[in-house]
Amino acid sequence: MEKSVDPAPSLSISAFFAGKTVLLTGATGFLAKAILEKILRDLPEVGRVILLVRGKGGEDRSDEGAWRRAETEVFGSDLFARLRREISCDFDRFVREKVECLAGDVRHSDLGLGAERYASLGEAVDLVINCAASVNFRERLDTAVAINVHGVKNLLEFARTAGALLVQVSTAYVCGQCDGKIEETVVSGTRNVDEEIADLRAIVERVERVYPDESSRVRTLIKEAAHLARARGSIDIYTYSKYLSECYLERHRGNVPVAIIRPSIIESSLSEPVPGWIEGLRMADPILLELGRGLSSFPFSMDAVIDVVPLDFVVKTTIAACAWTTFHPDGIRVFQITTGSVNPLLQREIIEFTRSYFGFPNGEENPASGWRIPPPGRFAREIIRRVRFLRLIKNLAERIP
Position 1 scores a pLDDT of 40
In this structure, whether the domain defined by 13-264+307-339 belongs to CATH 3.40.50.720 is answered with yes
CA dihedral 219, 169, 73, 222 (to 10 degrees): 0
Kindly give the parts of the chain with pLDDT less than 70.
Answer: 1-11, 57-60, 190, 282-284, 291-292, 294-296, 358-371
Position 13 scores a pLDDT of 93
- The active-site residue out of 20, 33, 38, 242 is 242
Write the secondary structure of the chain as one string of H (helix), E (strand) and C (coil).
CCCCCCCCCCCCHHHHHECCEEEEECCCCHHHHHHHHHHHHHCCCECEEEEEECCCCCCCCCHHHHHHHHHHHCCCCHHHHHHHHHHHHHHHHHHHHHEEEEECCCCCCCCCCCHHHHHHHHHHCCEEEECCCCCCCCCCHHHHHHHHHHHHHHHHHHHHHHCCEEEEECCCCCCCCCCCCCCCCCCCCCCCHHHHHHHHHHHHHHHHHHCCCHHHHHHHHHHHHHHHHHHCCCCCHHHHHHHHHHHHHHHHCCCCCEEEEEECEEECCCCCCCCCCCCCCCCCHHHHHHHHHCCCECCCCCCCECCEEEHHHHHHHHHHHHHHHHHCCCCEEEEEECCCCCCCCEHHHHHHHHHHHHHCCCCCCCHHHHCECCCHHHHHHHHHHHHHHHHHHHHHHHHCC
Q: What is the pLDDT of residues 176-223, one digit of tens each?
A: 877 788 899 998 776 899 999 999 999 999 999 999 899 999 999 999
238 belongs to the catalytic site: yes
Tell me the domain boundaries of the chain.
13-264+307-339
Q: What is the pLDDT of residues 301-325, one digit of tens each?
A: 788 888 999 999 999 999 999 999 9
Contact 132, 51 (CB under 8 A): no
3 belongs to the catalytic site: no
Residue 332 sits at the vertex; the CA angle it makes with 161 and 262, to the nearest 5 degrees, is 110
- The active-site residue out of 238, 240, 243, 248 is 238
Position 378 scores a pLDDT of 82
Position 169 scores a pLDDT of 98
